[in-house]
Chain A
Amino acid sequence: MRAFSYERAASPAAAAKAVAERPGARFIAGGTNLLDLMKLGIETPTHLVDVNRIGLDAIAPTSDGGLRIGALVRNADLAADPRIRRDYGVLARALLAGASGQLRNRATTAGNLLQRTRCPYFYETAMPCNKRRPGSGCAALEGFSRSNAVLGASDACIATHPSDMAVAMRALDARVETVSPDGSSRTVPIADLHRLPGDEPAQETVLQQGELITAVALPPPIQGLHLYRKVRERASYAFATVSLAAVLVRGRDGQVETGRFAFGGLAHKPWRVEAAEREVARGPAAVSDLVLAGARTTSHNAFKPTLARRLLAAAMAEAAKE
């Protein structure tokens, strides 16, 4: 690991300021992604600002009937919270499908959102990667791309975002709250937090240097069947090949009347197409056609659109028979 200096921030404002003051500085929360990447020489911060003692570790009701999840709430605690289990099942399920018990005890809400891709060439420092080394090329385009994106990708990068939690939060329309080094705060809809790779795959989010995520706010509970389906290479402790977060409501005729569908494993961000959801009465194939419009696959991941279709159809069938 490259040498770095380290400080323990005492407050959110102090943390934001400390990171803004040094170009090479980074926040460290659970450390489960950042330290892994630092050991491999993929991330090389010169200064770490430890945010583990700045509070922001509570889950509290909001005035509109939703919940505000502090940025430092650990994934394990979020998944075990009785309100999340009762009212936001899709989120509890997504969290529990990710990583391991030990990792979830450390991983934080903000860190999980900002974890970086698992593209094999991003991890292989000897290979070209526009995300790791802008301008060097993309080894995945002609390489082993089973895990890579089929939607929203570019010629510069076909990486996916690996988070399960973020996919459920996208289905729920969560809002990400931040504080900037100048003390101002803003709210970013989760749909806008992550960018598509475009020509600048290293720019993964809309956050500025030193902008600290303070919380994620969930809207009031959405009634219906909450599902998280994750297809992966082994039964546990593996990243999603394709995943689906869904909230489904059945009409009087027993068929699905409204549905929210957000996919993981397909793109550089959780993939949700609201326009497709308005066609839910026309059945799963019609919805999938719209969700997957413009999909571009490689010879290794050509199975992904089919897998996504089947996940969506299975979720609708399950809701109809509930």
Chain B
Amino acid sequence: MAPKDIDRRTILKSCGVLAMSVAAVGQPGRAEAQVQVAPQLGPPSIATRLTVNGQEVAFDLDARTTLLDVLREHLDLTGTKKGCDQGQCGACTVHVNGRRVNSCLTLAAMHDGDTVTTIEGLASPSGLHPLQRAFIERDGFQCGYCTPGQIMAAAAMLEEARRGAPSHATADLTAVLSLTDAEISERMSGNICRCAAYPNIVAAIRDAAEGGAA
């Protein structure tokens, strides 16, 4: 076959192994049941399985794909925000196996077999999560862009505090932790709010903590 005869389809067929597809077993947090991403030429792909908001998802993606981009671009879970894409703002915070992480600074392929919870998966069928309610009641936002990350960070942070994990604001590393406002602020410092809704965010988290949230 002369080079000019090699059309795009031929190449795509012969590169079936590199096909990029997302086969979602039910879209986590969304209505559609299947996502098919057009096969593409390109760099090595890697097979990965995740459980996102309770649903199993299997995909075969370019190894460069971050967890954040899988959630937003391939699973349409756009509640998780991309602020800086460099670990500096916390807008992309999700839970991986129950721990808060910056989804922008980790590759999806590194999470084969892991369980991911996003803001879409935080509420229960019976209603909003106590932190979500507290953010509304306390007006813990203005534009709302940082809010999903703030709430996901806060939910995991309250769990860390319950386990007694210390922070930079903890005076005595071996004493029983008391979750003061200074503790809340320090533990939430990985989440930047460009609107500076900080006082209300702290108040909302304090309410939820006192109500036994998360």
Which residues of A line the B interface, CB within 8 A?
Answer: 1, 3-6, 8, 28, 30-32, 35-36, 39, 48, 50, 52, 76, 79-80, 82, 85-86, 89, 92-93, 96-97, 99-103, 105-106, 235-237
Interface residue tally on B, bucketed by range: 35 or more
Residues of chain A with a CB closer than 8 A to B109's CB: 6, 8, 50
Residues of chain B with a CB closer than 8 A to A8's CB: 109, 112
**B173 close to A89 (CB less than 8 A):** yes
Chain B 164-189 interface residues, beta-carbon cutoff 8 Å to A: 164-168, 170, 173-174, 185-189
Tell me whether B120 is interfacial, beta carbon within 8 Å.
no
- Given the known A-B contacts A86-B174, A103-B87, are A76 and B168 also in contact in the complex, defined by CB atoms under 8 Å? no
Minimum Cβ distance to chain A for residue B80 (Å): 13
Which residues of B line the A interface, CB within 8 A?
Answer: 42-44, 46, 62-64, 66, 85-87, 90, 93, 99-102, 105-107, 109-110, 112, 153, 156-157, 160, 163-168, 170, 173-174, 185-191
Contacts beyond the supplied A48-B107, A92-B173: 9 A-B pairs with Cβ under 8 Å: A30-B105, A32-B87, A32-B105, A50-B109, A80-B160, A96-B168, A100-B90, A101-B156, A106-B101
State the CA gap A79–B66 with chains docked (Å). Answer: 27
Minimum Cβ distance to chain A for residue B131 (Å): 15
Minimum Cβ distance to chain B for residue A85 (Å): 4
Residues of chain B with a CB closer than 8 A to A89's CB: 173
Minimum Cβ distance to chain B for residue A23 (Å): 17
Residues of chain A with a CB closer than 8 A to B174's CB: 82, 85-86
Minimum Cβ distance to chain B for residue A256 (Å): 21
Minimum Cβ distance to chain A for residue B42 (Å): 7
- Given the known A-B contacts A79-B166, A92-B173, are A48 and B189 also in contact in the complex, defined by CB atoms under 8 Å? no
**B153 close to A236 (CB less than 8 A):** no
Q: Offer 8 A-B interface pairs, CB within 8 angstroms, sorted by A.
A: A4-B64, A32-B105, A36-B105, A96-B170, A103-B102, A103-B105, A106-B101, A237-B189
**B186 close to A236 (CB less than 8 A):** yes
State the CA gap A100–B156 with chains docked (Å). Answer: 13
State the CA gap A28–B107 with chains docked (Å). Answer: 10
Chain B binding surface, main DSSP class: loop
**B168 close to A236 (CB less than 8 A):** yes
Minimum CB distance partner of B64 in chain A: A1
State the CA gap A28–B109 with chains docked (Å). Answer: 12
- Given the known A-B contacts A79-B166, A97-B168, A101-B160, are A31 and B173 also in contact in the complex, defined by CB atoms under 8 Å? no
Residues of chain A with a CB closer than 8 A to B160's CB: 76, 80, 101
Residues of chain B with a CB closer than 8 A to A32's CB: 87, 102, 105-106
**B173 close to A100 (CB less than 8 A):** no
Minimum CB distance partner of A82 in chain B: B174
**B102 close to A96 (CB less than 8 A):** no
Minimum CB distance partner of B113 in chain A: A53
Residues of chain B with a CB closer than 8 A to A3's CB: 42-44, 62-64
State the CA gap A102–B190 with chains docked (Å). Answer: 7
**B44 close to A5 (CB less than 8 A):** yes
Minimum CB distance partner of B170 in chain A: A96
**A28 close to B110 (CB less than 8 A):** yes
Minimum CB distance partner of A3 in chain B: B43
- Among B44, B87, B157, chain A packs the most CB atoms within 10 A around the CB of B87
Residues of chain A with a CB closer than 8 A to B168's CB: 93, 96-97, 236
**B187 close to A101 (CB less than 8 A):** yes
